[in-house]
Structure 1
């Protein structure tokens, strides 16, 4: 049996859509549908229940998927072992990260990575959406969270600390911000995630915590947009250290309430390297993990 049929079935099962897999493979959705029908004929059972609005695994399809995925992993492993024995890491590595992390922390490293591993082609997906690694065929993701849950393998890349910042011009004209409650008098720049959009949490050196409801008339969907709005003097913003440290060092942004730890969700957060749970790690993924840790973990 053609193993590509099995891979297409697994991709469709995870994506829940012929169209999504067709876009990933740059083919017509009807081609994916025909190949799935061919697989069902070969297996002798209906694997997918199709309606005009949804696509779901049948009981037989669920059992079949659980059987073939370990086999596909083993085939990939065997291929990678053969390649590792014959040559340097190679193939396409699909990497995803947030827009801000990708632009600020990943892009500046791409030239060095390419020189170090010329056989690896990079396909970088920078988005603030939480990408389904299996459905989108992602090899490695960088996720920002207190912890990573689910059936994924995760290793910490770098701790993240949040800062409240504003431009010197804004602070010269606005009411002073000397304690957390002073933010009530300001139109803050907001990020459309729970917590960040409505309340900021503070913890002092003694461990006492306070939550301040924040309001504002600008909701911006990326960290880079929030940073640029703060630079333009549009209000205080809550942003990760790696987004604003360069501007703070240059004096273009000023840190506020530095005696407090501050967050919109959890105080202890990090950027994590995340990849699908497998019994092996392809060489191209392993070298990228090692490369990012070497360049960013101590940053």
Structure 2
């Protein structure tokens, strides 16, 4: 199987048309079409639905190109290394993170990454679901949880701590939260997510923990909405440090019961970097991992 034909198929997919790929390569469209047909014949699979007006990737073609894309990039990088011509990592890096983490942490550092690595394009997939990296062709994921388990390579990015917070307006209206047991008399803002219960766990200076069964009128499916609800005085929230640091500093939120650490799952939580367990790590993924650790001080 010719790497040039594979690269051509990836370019056709990226351009959305044979004519577009032909323009990039300065080739005749008929030549590109013949190369595609030869590759499909060799595979025994149709990669694209082609009509006179439209081109789209078949289901089999999309699955195939997702898997061969990283392999082609790595082969090209290896060839450049062999002759000493590669100066900058290249390619498109597809990464996923929760909606809140992508917005608050990933996007703000992308300008610096883009300046350092101008040949890498970054596609950020914001999702609070745990997407399948291999199935969806994702190079890197950030997961906020206890240490993940499974067949993915895992590397700790940064530790996280959760703060019990409320707005000044809410506390003025509903009264202070002087002890953790006072939470039973307050509106607590909760997550509407699988695996997140209505029990908040707290631990002080010792090892003994206290479980509080919280209630409240409002639930939210992502942390950004929950943060804004806390700002608007809808209730008490348990939110990660990287999400509330600025609000605490500016006085929009007030930390409660500061001598306790809180959690909705386990106390030892962190942001982890996950990537497919391949026999190689693409250069574009490696430099992003190093950049994020440098930026967030793992």
TM-score, structure 1 length as denominator? 0.76
Aligned residue in 1 for 2:132: 132
Encode CA deviations 1:151-207: one digit per residue, 9 max, x unaligned: 110110000101111001111121321121111111111112356441100111121
Say if 2:96 is the partner of 1:96: yes
> For residue 10 of structure 2, what is the aligned residue in structure 1?
none
- 2:78 matches 1:81: yes
**For 1:241-267, what per-residue CA distance to the aligned partner results, in whole angstroms no more than 9, with x for missing partners?**
100011001111001111111100000
**Could you say what secondary structure the match of 2:217 adopts?**
strand
C-alpha distance in structure 1 between counterparts of 2:118 and 2:89, whole Å: 9
Higher deviation after alignment, 169-178 or 193-202: 193-202
Per the TM alignment, residue 75 of structure 1 is displaced from its structure 2 partner at its CA by 5.7
Q: Helix, strand or coil for the counterpart of 1:216?
A: coil
Secondary structure at the aligned position of 2:193 is classed as coil
Larger Rg over CA atoms: 2
Equivalents in 2 of 1:90, 1:296: separation in Å?
Answer: 23
Please give the alpha-carbon distance, in whole angstroms, between the structure 1 residues aligned to 2:195 and 2:96.
24
Counterpart Cα distance in 1 of 2:229 and 2:4: 47
Aligned equivalent of 1:171: 171
Superposed CA offset, 1:251-284 (max 9, x none): 1100111111110000010001110001111111
Residue 199 (structure 2) aligns with: 199
Query: Aligned pair 1:256/2:264, yes or no?
Result: no
CA gap 1:176/1:103 in 2 versus in 1, 3 angstroms = same
Q: 2:209 maps to what in 1?
A: 209
Match of 1:226 in 2: 226
Question: Tell me, which stretches of 5 or more residues in structure 1 are unaligned?
Answer: 8-22, 28-33, 43-64
Contact 1:157 1:272 in 2 (8 A): yes
How far does the alpha carbon of each residue in 1:20-45 deviate from its partner, in whole angstroms, 9 at most, with x for none? xxx99979xxxxxx99x967858xxx
Please list, as runs of the form range in 1=range in 2, the aligned pairs for 1:1-299 lying within 5 A after superposition: 1=1, 77-84=74-81, 85-87=84-86, 88-194=88-194, 196-297=196-297
Counterpart of 1:19 in structure 2 is: none
Aligned residues: 252
CA–CA separation in structure 1 for the residues paired with 2:296 and 2:124:
17
Q: Is the 8 A contact 2:89 2:283 kept in 1?
A: yes
> Counterparts of 2:71 and 2:43 in 1: how far apart (Å)?
23
C-alpha RMSD of the superposition: 3.0
Rate the CA distance shift 1:282–1:131 in 2: closer, same or farther, 3 A: same
Normalising by the residue count of structure 2, what TM-score does the alignment of the two structures yield? 0.76
Task: Find the aligned partners of 2:135 and 2:5 in 1 and give their Cα distance.
Answer: 15
Unpaired segments ≥5 residues, structure 2:
8-12, 18-36, 46-63
CA distance, structure 2, for counterparts of residue 134 and residue 203 of structure 1: 38
* 8 Å contact kept, 1:194–1:264: no
Distance 1:4 1:169, change over 3 A: farther
The 2-side partners of 1:38 and 1:255 are apart by 64
